[in-house]
Amino acid sequence: MKLSSSFTLVASLLSALPTAHALVGSSWSITNVPSTGLTDITFPITIVEAGRISGYYFAQQFHFVGVKEVGYTGIQPRPNSSGKAVLHGVFSSFVPNTTTSDANCKTGADGGAGVSCSVEWNGVYGRKYNFEIKTTGNRLWVGTAIDTVTGQSTHIGSYTLPEGSQGVKRSQAGFVEWYPWNSRKPSNHCALLSYQKTIFGNPNTTHAGSVGTQSLAYEYGDCVGKVAFHTEKVTGGVENNCGFSSQSSVEVIDELLVGSPKLTLMDVDYHYIP
């Protein structure tokens, strides 16, 4: 396991990461954050390589000043549609009494309190997308995915946090999750993991004098040491990869699908990004 900074820091962040079947964590921090928190923060994420199937979730967590629970934003691969790549953007709050009137959002988050927002668009694998979280005032927060090549902005959703909440805190962690295992894990599931490579970029904000850093990724969960995990610093952030490119065969995908209500054979594209 490669630790992001110190063992103590990693241990504390692990307690905040999803207890479902996430595989990889990576802490982030920003300097010079006011006591009331940031009014905006942007998380760059690049899916360098992944199968065009539903299953992976690449996300960054964040905390708000004045409330206990976290929020998420991130990206998920989807099956191609009409020969074009489809990406799924997510923006969620797990804070009780969060409300929304946004058409892209619904009440509830992973079966609990909060709000979940999502949208799909024809994206490009290997391209960096900036996931911007920004308040427009009155505790209303907006999630946006921004294509760093074309500049196109895609509205993911918006929600209003309860009274007493303020801005985004200075640190938290991101994660990589293979979510079909939340419903069922096949036998020898670690060896069946589909390959992925992503870059979590250094977070940034418009707040003057603030500098963001993404730390080296680390493994956690029940597949530690079993999924060919690797992490390294790259320009502008941290790369991580895990899984096996050989696990794109029909037999392996069938095994992954058995008993999983989240995937069907129609969801599967057996080709990997060149």
The model carries a pTM of 0.86
Residue 181 placed within a domain? yes
Q: Tokens 């069946």 identify what position?
A: 192
Residue 13 placed within a domain? yes
| pLDDT given at position 7 | 35
- Is the model's pLDDT at 40 over the cut of 50? yes
When pLDDT is cut at 50, 70 and 90, the band that residue 20 belongs to is: low
When pLDDT is cut at 50, 70 and 90, the band that residue 4 belongs to is: very low
The residue range of the domain holding 58 is 7-267
Q: 127 or 7: which carries more pLDDT confidence?
A: 127
- E strands present in the chain: 22-30, 40-50, 56-63, 70-81, 84-93, 105-109, 112-121, 128-137, 140-147, 153-160, 171-178, 196-201, 212-214, 218-219, 230-234, 237-242
Residue 173 placed within a domain? yes
Residue 104 placed within a domain? yes
Residue 63 placed within a domain? yes
Q: Domains in the chain: how many in total?
A: 1
Q: Which amino acid is at 203?
A: P
Residue 65 placed within a domain? yes
Residue 206 placed within a domain? yes
Tell me the pLDDT of the chain averaged across its residues: 87
Q: 252 or 57: which carries more pLDDT confidence?
A: 57
- pLDDT tens sequence across 86-101: 999 999 999 999 999 9
- Is the model's pLDDT at 270 over the cut of 90? no
- Is the model's pLDDT at 10 over the cut of 60? no
- C-alpha span between 135 and 142 (Å, rounded): 6
Residue 2 placed within a domain? no
- C-alpha span between 133 and 136 (Å, rounded): 10
| pLDDT given at position 143 | 98
- C-alpha span between 53 and 32 (Å, rounded): 40
Residue 121's region, left for phi above 0, alpha for psi from -120 to 50, else beta, is beta
